[in-house]
Amino acid sequence: MALAADGDGDGANTLSILVATDNHLGYLERDPIRGQDSFHAFTEIMQIARDRKVDMVLLGGDLFHDNKPSRKCLHQAMTILRASCLGSDPVSLEYLSDPQVDFASSSFVNYEDPNVNIGLPVFSIHGNHDDPSGDGNLSAVDMLAACGLVNYFGRQSEVERVRVSPVLLRKGETRLALYGLGNIRDERLHRTMARGNLTMCQPTEDEGRWFNLMVLHQNRVAHGPKNHIPEHFLSEFLDFVIWGHEHQCLVDPQYNHQRAFYVSQPGSSVATALSPGEAAPKHVAVLKINRRSFKLEKIRLKNVRPFVIDDVVLAAVPSLSPQSTEDEIVEYLKGKVERMLVVAQREYHEQRDGALGPQPKPLVRLRVEYSGGFESFHPQRFGLLFADRVANPRDIIYFFRKPRASTSVSTQASVASARSVAPVDALHVESLIGEFLDDSSMRMLVDLELAEAVRLFVAKGDTDAIVQSLKSTISDTQRRVLTEGVVASEEQLEARIGETRAARRRRAVESGHGGVSEIRGESVVPAVVASGRRAAVTNNDRNAIREFERIAAATSTSVTTEPVDGRDSSGSDKEADGFLPSPPPPTLGRKKRPRQPVVVASDDEEDDDIVSTAATTVKITRPSRNARTTLALALASTASVKPLSGDEIEDSEDNSLPSSIVSPPPPPAKRGRTTRARGAAPSKRAATGRGHGRGRGSVPTQRTVSLLASQMPAVSIDDDDDDDEVGESRGFGGFSLRKRK
Q: Is 259 exposed, middle or buried (0-12, 13-18, 19+ CB in 10 A)?
A: middle
Cβ atoms 169, 197 nearer than 8 A: no
The residues near 297 (Cβ < 8 Å, ≥ 6 apart) are 285, 286, 288
**Helix, strand or coil for residue 477?**
helix
Q: Give catalytic residues, as residue numbers.
A: 129
pLDDT at res. 505 = 81
What distance in Å separates the CA atoms of residue 377 and residue 391, rounded to the nearest whole number?
21
| H or E element at residue 214 | strand 210-217
pLDDT at res. 453 = 80
Q: Looking at residue 314, what DSSP letter applies?
A: G
For 562-601, how does the pLDDT look when each residue is reduced to its tens digit (9 = 90+)? 444 444 444 444 343 444 444 444 444 444 444 554 444 4
DSSP 1-27: -EEPPTT-S-TTTEEEEEEE----BTT
Burial track 702-718 (b if 16+ CB lie within 10 A, e otherwise): beebbeebeeebbbbeb
Determine the CATH number of domain 309-400.
3.30.110.110
Taken as a whole, the chain contains a residue count of 741
What distance in Å separates the CA atoms of residue 473 and residue 467, rounded to the nearest whole number?
10
CB-side neighbour CA atoms (13 Å) of 540: 13
What distance in Å separates the CA atoms of residue 231 and residue 241, rounded to the nearest whole number?
9
pLDDT at res. 181 = 97
What is the domain partition of the chain in residue ranges? 2-300, 309-400, 426-540, 568-637+644-667, 677-741
The residue type at 708: L
pLDDT at res. 687 = 43
Helix/strand/coil (H/E/C) assignment for every residue in 482-537: HHCCCCCCHHHHHHHHHHHHHHHHHHHHHHCHHHCEEECCEEEEEEECCCCCEEEE
User: Which residue(s) pair with 524 in the sheet?
Assistant: 517, 538
- Architecture of the domain delimited by 2-300: 4-Layer Sandwich (3.60)
pLDDT at res. 435 = 66
Burial track 615-654 (b if 16+ CB lie within 10 A, e otherwise): beebebeebbebbbbbbeebeeeeeebebbeeeebeeeee
Q: Backbone dihedral region of 124: left (phi > 0), alpha (psi from -120 to 50 degrees) or beta?
A: beta
> 611-615: which pairs have CB atoms within 8 A and are 24 or more residues apart?
611/577, 611/578, 611/580, 613/580, 615/583, 615/646
What distance in Å separates the CA atoms of residue 731 and residue 717, rounded to the nearest whole number?
11
Low-confidence ranges of the chain (pLDDT < 50): 408-426, 515-536, 556-594, 597-620, 639-664, 670, 672-700, 703-709, 712-741
pLDDT at res. 626 = 60
